[in-house]
Structure 1
Amino acid sequence: MAVPKKLPRKGFHNLLREQVRNEFTAAQQYVAVAVWFDNRDLPRLAAHFYRQALEERNHAMMMVQYLMDLGQPVTVPGVDEVRNDFDNAEELIALALQQERDVADEIDGLMAAARAEGDFKGEEFVHWFLREQVEEIAQMSTLLNVVRRSSGNLFDVEAFVARERVGAQTVDPGAPRVAGGAL
């Protein structure tokens, strides 16, 4: 029986390090969105996006923990610039949806790299993030539809977020460990 040739795993780990930066940047973008809603006295929408920011931060720290567990070098990156100026709520939610779609593409790239390198541990690690992105895209798509149907009445959107418990915290026992613990 032939033993499969072990491929170098540098590409996947480098992509994962880049994704840590992307996740931290996404967290900061969600803080900016939350602040926009908070400044307009929309506490449910603000709370939802503050939670989203913490979730993205936790995703970054899951990746940090994974790299540390493998004995891989880890550096804490800075973040890219985030957008702070918006004209209306639809613009913010459309940005959030696009951000989630972009992250999904990045996670797909991580999966492809792990698979191409024969990195089975890496592939298994990324599976959780693939499922997470399906949920995030669905949630933001629904929220964008609700905002569009509200015809600018954000109090209706606030009622929807409260009633449907959009973004309610749940503990996923299958989630990767978070370096330093989840916030």
Structure 2
Amino acid sequence: MTATAKIQHKETQFEHLLQEQVRNEFTASQQYTAVAVWFDDNDLPQLAKHFYRQALEERNHAMMIIQYLMDNGVKPYVPGVEQVRNDFTETRELVALALEQEREVTREIETLARTAREEGNYLGEQFMQWFLKEQVEEVSQMSTLLNVVDRAKGNLFHVEDFLARETVGDDGSDPTAPPVAGGAL
């Protein structure tokens, strides 16, 4: 008698948190899109370009997690996103929101790395190392941008000139980055 029984995979806490992080990354992408649209609508093309690029980067992070899940035999779920904020009054408010969002993502990534370690999931822990490095850069980038906005004292042309002149953030070509499901945009 041969009976083939499919072994059910029991989701670990790390995998559960990764599934939640997919939502968090897509929500961050949508929030950055809302920020970019606000800047675009207010004729601030460099700030708009910066945040459109950030939106794509967050989308790519979600797709990296999806690829990791698939590569490890875990069925990924593509969730809806949380409500994002669309009403703003001034530039500092938007950049401060972006900085706080990056700090929150950093806490989430730290929790993921800690959970992988606690579960003895060495592959998961290694996967999270790139995201930890990325968050250092993300928080630093938004802190710098907020400092520039503050120093500009309301003259947004100074902020626009800064973004046109300086490289803020990465260019998306990190060879150590995890693979992106469907390819990076």
TM-score band (shorter)? over 0.9
Q: TM-score, normalised by structure 1?
A: 0.94
Q: 1:79 to 1:49 in 2, by over 3 A?
A: same
| Separation (CA, whole Å) in 2 of partners of 1:36 and 1:149 | 21
1:60 aligns with 2:62: yes
| Residue of structure 2 aligned with 1:118, choices 114, 117, 120 | 120
Q: 1:9 to 1:112 in 2, by over 3 A?
A: farther
Unaligned stretches of 5+ in structure 1?
1-7
Unaligned stretches of 5+ in structure 2?
1-9
| Separation (CA, whole Å) in 2 of partners of 1:130 and 1:17 | 17
Equivalent position of 2:179 in the other structure: 177
Equivalent position of 1:151 in the other structure: 153
Conservation of the 8 A alpha-carbon contact between 2:138 and 2:169: no
Conservation of the 8 A alpha-carbon contact between 1:97 and 1:140: yes
Conservation of the 8 A alpha-carbon contact between 1:27 and 1:56: yes
| Separation (CA, whole Å) in 2 of partners of 1:42 and 1:168 | 21
1:106 aligns with 2:108: yes
Q: State the number of aligned residues.
A: 176
1:37 aligns with 2:1: no
Conservation of the 8 A alpha-carbon contact between 1:51 and 1:167: no
Conservation of the 8 A alpha-carbon contact between 2:23 and 2:62: yes
Residue 167 of structure 1 deviates from its aligned partner by 3.3
Equivalent position of 1:128 in the other structure: 130
Equivalent position of 1:82 in the other structure: 84
2:26 is paired with a residue of what secondary structure? helix
| Separation (CA, whole Å) in 2 of partners of 1:168 and 1:125 | 19
Q: 1:174 to 1:126 in 2, by over 3 A?
A: same
Q: TM-score, normalised by structure 2?
A: 0.93
**Runs of 4+ off more than 6 Å:** none
| Separation (CA, whole Å) in 1 of partners of 2:167 and 2:116 | 35
| Separation (CA, whole Å) in 1 of partners of 2:11 and 2:119 | 6
Q: What is the one-letter code of the residue matched to 1:115?
A: R
Residue 73 of structure 1 deviates from its aligned partner by 1.4
| Separation (CA, whole Å) in 2 of partners of 1:169 and 1:128 | 16
| Separation (CA, whole Å) in 1 of partners of 2:109 and 2:167 | 26
Q: 1:90 to 1:26 in 2, by over 3 A?
A: same
